[in-house]
Amino acid sequence: MTSGSATFAGKIRVRAPAKINLHLSVGAVRRDGYHELVTVFHAVDLCDELTIAHAERHSVRSHPADGVPAGVKNLAGAAARMLARRSGAGGPVAIEISKHIPVAGGMAGGSADAAAALVGCAALWGLDIARGDLAMIAADLGSDVPFALTGGTAVGTGRGELLSPVLARTPLHWVLALAADGLATPVVFAELDRLRAAGDPPRVGSVRDILAALASGEAAAVAAALGNDLQAAAISLQPGLRRTLRAGIAAGALAGVVSGSGPTVALLCFDAESAGGVAAELAGSGTCRAVRVATGPAAGARVVGPH
């Protein structure tokens, strides 16, 4: 890694996408404490936007700030400091996060912010650094951060950080039902372990099913192949998610799935018009805090211009 001439002298704006897990198979606990995963990540155009500027000391502020980790616990700040340390270039930055991805919602909002910080700081400091090198740093920050860099649709293995791109032939249209309260990922994994010890809830099928469905370009085929081993645990912790899923189907969605560790429910719709109708009906159902309409696949973390 080398430092080139500064690309942006003042401030820079970066966006990074939320993700949905179209498939999430959870295996045994590894020696490092993580579970072995096979997942299909799908980036959607619900994005956080970061403004990054040179500063006298590192700082991170989020708007709104509810539930967002502050100080050294914020992944965006950690990403900036790690990139400075690994590259030997750059300096303190002030990061402002405009939050749109739900906090503790199973959509990797913190990971998206970390990916945006890596891309933004690299551009702000004029670093000559390949995306592959950024991805190595991203993997050290968190399992979902490498995918937030790449976006699109991809199979993730290991703890989710080992990625293989997937060609998704057509756009997918989603309604996202946001819950009133978040769920902490470690708590959801622990609940899945408890449920399995007590009787092993049904597991999702082969990842080949969702890959074949994506290759077909048929939304109905993708809907039939959606699956998430963590869904049973998320519903166990927040039983109201069952009502949200049922309300989405009743409103006309093709299928629904809890995204990642939840509690956001992702409802796949036939097209954009159908998604608008489902969103309107679900918003009045009383089964969720808010709804968002989104489309995927979306691009990964990217610079969108100077401030």
Pairwise CA distance, residues 154 & 296, whole Å: 12
Backbone φ and ψ of 134, nearest 5°: -60, -40
Q: Of all helices (H) and strands (E), which one includes residue 43?
A: strand 35-54
Pairwise CA distance, residues 241 & 50, whole Å: 31
19 in catalytic set: yes
- Report in angstroms the alpha-carbon separations of 31 from 69, 185, 195: 28, 18, 21
Pairwise CA distance, residues 29 & 256, whole Å: 27
11 in catalytic set: no
Q: What does the block give as tokens for 22?
A: 């179209």
Q: What does the block give as tokens for 176?
A: 């996202």
Q: Which of 45, 48, 144, 229 is catalytic?
A: 144
Q: Which residues share a beta bridge with 20?
A: 42
Strand ranges in 55-186 using DSSP code E only, listed in sequence order: 59-63, 93-98, 127-128, 153-157, 162-165, 172-178
Q: Which of 19, 45, 113, 229 is catalytic?
A: 19
Pairwise CA distance, residues 97 & 222, whole Å: 33
Backbone φ and ψ of 209, nearest 5°: -65, -45
Q: What is the separation, in whole angstroms, between the first and last Cα of the chain?
A: 26
Q: What does the block give as tokens for 120?
A: 């933004």
Provide the annotated active-site residues: 19, 144
